[in-house]
């Protein structure tokens, strides 16, 4: 019998958080031990943000509901439902949802998201 050439994810890894954000990794280091890429579904609560970071990976964000504010090398870019953005590795960024509604989105990282390669700055 040959090995299947697909993997159907039925139980994504739910990343423990302390800031109210839902993170479900469908493919990546934590869920499938995949290092080439990661795919995660996220829901950021209203008025959520995280510290600045300078990741060693490209990140594609696909917003499906609400909107997300991203500071990219000092420029603020709003990404709304139905829009996508690609941010290249080595870019200083800060993700936030300063709005009154939740933001739902998907994130694809190449190579896979790794806490050791995100390079988050200390919160001030």
User: Rounded to an integer, what distance in angstroms lies between the CA atom of residue 52 and that of residue 29?
Assistant: 22
Which is it for strands 67-72 and 75-80: parallel, antiparallel or unpaired?
antiparallel
Q: What is the pLDDT of residues 23-40, one digit of tens each?
A: 999 999 999 999 999 999
pLDDT one digit per residue (tens) for the chain, 124 residues: 678 999 999 999 999 999 999 999 999 999 999 999 999 999 999 999 999 999 999 999 999 999 999 999 999 999 999 999 999 999 999 999 999 999 999 999 999 999 999 999 985 4
- The answer to whether the predicted template modeling score (pTM) of the entire model surpasses 0.85 is yes
User: Rounded to an integer, what distance in angstroms lies between the CA atom of residue 78 and that of residue 18?
Assistant: 25
| Domains contained in the chain, CATH given | 38-123 (2.60.120.10)
User: Rounded to an integer, what distance in angstroms lies between the CA atom of residue 95 and that of residue 122?
Assistant: 14
DSSP letter for 12, please: -
Task: Show the tokens assigned to 36.
Answer: 């080439």
């Amino acid at each position: 019998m040959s090995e299947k050439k697909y993997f159907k994810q039925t139980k994504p890894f739910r990343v423990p958080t302390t800031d109210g954000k839902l993170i479900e990794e469908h493919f990546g280091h934590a869920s499938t031990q995949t290092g080439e890429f990661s795919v995660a579904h996220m829901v950021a609560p209203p008025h959520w943000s995280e510290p600045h970071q300078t990741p060693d990976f490209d990140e594609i964000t696909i917003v499906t509901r609400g909107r997300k504010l991203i500071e990219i090398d000092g420029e603020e870019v709003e990404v709304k439902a139905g829009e996508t953005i690609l941010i290249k590795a080595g870019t200083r960024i800060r993700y936030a949802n300063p709005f009154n509604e939740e933001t739902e989105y998907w994130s694809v990282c190449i190579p896979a998201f790794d806490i050791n390669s995100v390079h988050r700055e200390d919160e001030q």
